[in-house]
Amino acid sequence: MEKDPNLRPRLLSWKFDDEVETDHEEEWNWIEITMYFTDGSKRWSILYTPERLLNNLSRPNIDPPGLHMQQLIVVRSYEVSDIDRVLRVFDEEDELIKASRAYSE
């Protein structure tokens, strides 16, 4: 029996959990976001731009020299419009839940 796609939680809104600084080209840290869904749940993801991901993996002291995170989303920029578009498309494609983690309360 196929699930009704209208019954799955859908994205209502999201917010930055970290301050977004775009002034420093050498910056390597990620930005975390919280997302709010129609069923009252909250989930979080980590956003990386390609530049910051490259900066992180290029650090000489990184150990191990790689990473894997279920909740990692790579975005073109930290512009609200770019992030909003990515999250909405992932939500429409039913991929946003897989690309995020539930808050454990």
* Count of structural domains, the chain: 1
Q: SS in 3 state form for 39-85?
A: CCCEEEEEEECHHHHHHHHHCCCCCCCCCCCCCEEECCCCCHHHHHH
pTM of the entire predicted model: 0.86
Q: Could you read off the pLDDT of 11-50 as tens digits, one per residue?
A: 999 999 998 877 778 889 899 999 999 999 999 999 999 9
Share of residues in the chain with pLDDT > 90 (%): 76
Say if 63 falls within a structural domain.
Answer: yes
Whether residue 87 lies inside any domain: the answer is yes
How confident is the model at residue 1, as a pLDDT?
A: 47
What distance in Å separates the CA atoms of residue 21 and residue 18, rounded to the nearest whole number? 9
Q: Is 3 a member of any domain? A: no
First to last CA, the chain: 32
pLDDT class for 65, splitting at 50, 70, 90? very high
How far apart CA 14 and CA 62 sit, in angstroms, is 30
Considering the domain boundaries, does residue 43 fall inside one?
Answer: yes
